[in-house]
A and B are shown apart, each in its own frame.
Chain A
């Protein structure tokens, strides 16, 4: 098993998780790097992405596990050949011969960019800091079984707010990403629910880095 770290930016953020798997399978093929296949009735090339991501989210820390068929290829060569076969916006940063067990993946740093077309409302950073300091913050969560309430505070390690420009506010947060996971966009849902006057006109989301339970970078 080999692992690679890639980023997903630009137009590529609109590619869904399933489509991205297919895109990687074809990129491996184009790069002349044949993948092993699953042993099923309908064999599929074996690639898996650690944390499926919502459409529209940007990332600089995606992990993909794969297994090559045939002779070993040096990691740098895999990276370069894949990058030459990938669409713009999907770029391999590094290839690792091995990796930690995925079950140890625990935390995710993410950055929400809140865009206010008519300027950031006064005191917004402070008011949002206060909001995320509450002891509990239930937000509606849509799942297969319908809508449930999810308290986001236990799944949130820290929140930092910074006004970068006149019209944007950045919210940096460390959220749990497995067992259970918190979708970073739930932070926006909390704003919409409890501070609707601070709801931005648009919000972008970027995954920044992943960590294990102890806060060490996960690879």
Chain B
């Protein structure tokens, strides 16, 4: 007879997401395992399997002979309904065992709007949501990922956070857990010990105290708990573990190709960008190691496409050397190579033509702001001439589609800046008229604006978010000034970005809000078909929390910030300096044109920054 789990599969969309059994999946003998880790990604299989960080840590954990790390993803709505109807608990893919049977439950969280999925997955697993309700060593819940640079909104639910890159710290964490289990420690003892691993933050060792007006007054520490938790980095990426024997999904995922990471960190310093600051310092892999890893990835996986990934690929110092070696290899094997995140410089244009990664359809720019003044404020070092000259060359070469990404609501933004976007679009249309070769097919410009979300650990971490009404007014203003039929302008509703802003700079008082929203049905918030703003609004009201406190209020420079205890390497003094320069419309050169003294180099013990 077919078991109950299997019987759910015919009725759900894309059932292969729930079965495991893919090429490269790790199977182990349970009898030889001391620590079982359920590694949860708080979104669907297609998104999670596209995440490189998860693939790396899956390999790191499974390289420990007595550890078996398995994958768990958020089920789609149809599967969730089936699980709840049949009262079946969420399971891990490899063994198909219930998550509640695992020693440790790990999450990697890269997006604030996945917080509801974290809670919902615990709930589907039948694991108590609150850390305080899980009393033993079983089901220790820990989390990492960029969102945990401000982990406070999840402090009620997660036992500890692992800040920064996990290649080394995860092994150290498993060592502590191994001892705890062997010696039958209490959970409290384990948490005290794991807090000694550099980069680990145990929220239960800290108690925030608030002022009557709601601002954070102080944080009381349990004796012995670290005053500052500094994120971890891997110094030598050439020697770090990289999963070249990649797991190959049997069903299509979002990034369905091999992914090779060139370097970490970013030299640019765009003032709105969290990754740009929190992933510093810049560390690269050598082209020799990258070439070897690329060939291994392609041969082991059977993929015929590889992406070279990083925050800004044009800034990889050895890009020419690497591509000179890789392009002939790919051509000989009929592999294709894609190189996203290129800047509009000459070498990149040449490279684009050589790899033909950009089919004649796609040319994407992210000027982020409509005027040079505002681009200087945000330190987005992209000149209008660069965009226009690249467009002119591309139009002459047969390209006819342009995508443009902007933000609205950036600090100091005025209507003039908003209209600057329309002017730039107009200039691109004029260029097309002068240079376009395929006039019959016509030009198509897809313009998108996002609602600016101030993020922790950036120079804009203190900024006010504009109100949703003001955001919509600016969208409409822009729309009224787009006259051409070839422009398609999409602006999303501000609801999601407003919530993202709340949670990005949130504190522990948001825990009950997330729980309330999830109890009333919030999950898969990143998906239009499931996002329910009304549930969140009700949850805020019910918990007596005002979202405006975290968004339009803005934070004072003297104010104690919920994430001040987390050190990502970049100093607060530097962020303040950058904030001042922003208000003076002064750009800060990239790291290679002069060190701005961000402080992240202090995380390096042996190598120099960007060597």
Contacts and interface: CB of A to CB of B under 8 A. Distances in A.
Given A26-B301, A115-B1, A204-B2, A11 B21 contact: yes
A33 to B, nearest CB: 10
A56 B16 CA distance: 10
B507 to A, nearest CB: 43
B294 to A, nearest CB: 15
A15 B9 contact: no
Nearest to B249: A19
B9 A26 contact: no
A26 B15 CA distance: 20
B592 interface: no
Contacts of A45: 304
Nearest to B335: A29
Interface residues of A, number: 34
A158 to B, nearest CB: 26
A87 B1 contact: no
A14 B16 contact: yes
Interface in A114-129: 115, 117
A43 interface: yes
User: Which of the listed residues B2, B16, B250, B303 has the most CB atoms from chain A within 10 Å of its own CB?
Assistant: B250
Interface in A16-43: 16, 18-19, 22-23, 25-30, 34, 37, 43
B302 to A, nearest CB: 3
Tell me the dominant secondary structure on chain A's binding face: mixed
Given A11-B20, A88-B21, A19 B250 contact: yes
A167 to B, nearest CB: 6
Contacts of B15: 14, 55-56
B391 interface: no
Interface in A72-123: 85-89, 115, 117
A122 B18 CA distance: 36
Interface in B1-56: 1-2, 7, 9-10, 14-16, 18-23
A177 B251 CA distance: 26
User: Which of the listed residues B10, B20, B252, B333 has the most CB atoms from chain A within 10 Å of its own CB?
Assistant: B10
B592 to A, nearest CB: 38
A87 B301 CA distance: 12
Contacts of A117: 1
A167 B301 CA distance: 42
Contacts of A26: 23, 248, 301-304
Tell me the dominant secondary structure on chain B's binding face: loop
Interface in A26-70: 26-30, 34, 37, 43, 45, 55-56
Contact of A87 (B22, B252, B300): B22
A25 B304 CA distance: 9
A130 B93 CA distance: 43
B440 interface: no
Contacts, number: 74
Interface in A152-194: 167-168
B304 A168 contact: no
Contact of B9 (A14, A23, A34): A14
A28 B9 contact: no
Given A12-B21, A22-B252, A30 B334 contact: no
A29 B302 CA distance: 5
Contacts of B19: 11, 14
B2 to A, nearest CB: 5
User: Which of the listed residues A14, A29, A117, A202 has the most CB atoms from chain B within 10 Å of its own CB?
Assistant: A14
A19 B334 contact: no
Contacts of A25: 302, 304
Contacts of A11: 19-21
Nearest to B17: A14
B227 interface: no
Contacts of A202: 1-2, 7
B21 A87 contact: yes
Nearest to A41: B359
Contacts of B301: 26, 30
B299 interface: yes
A215 interface: no
Contacts of A167: 1
A168 B252 CA distance: 35
A176 B23 CA distance: 34
A85 B245 CA distance: 13
A85 B251 contact: no
Interface in B279-312: 299-304
A37 B334 contact: yes
A16 B248 contact: no
Nearest to B22: A87
A52 to B, nearest CB: 16
Contact of B251 (A10, A15, A201): A15
Lowest 8 A-B CB distances belong to which pairs? A26-B302, A11-B21, A29-B302, A30-B302, A14-B15, A11-B19, A14-B16, A56-B10
30 contacts: A11-B20, A12-B250, A14-B9, A14-B15, A14-B16, A14-B18, A14-B19, A15-B16, A18-B252, A19-B16, A19-B250, A19-B251, A23-B23, A25-B302, A26-B304, A27-B302, A28-B302, A29-B303, A29-B304, A30-B23, A30-B299, A30-B300, A34-B334, A37-B334, A45-B304, A55-B10, A55-B15, A56-B15, A88-B21, A201-B7
Interface of B: 1-2, 7, 9-10, 14-16, 18-23, 248, 250-252, 299-304, 333-334
Given A27-B302, A29-B303, A30-B299, 4 more contacts: A15-B251, A85-B302, A87-B22, A87-B23
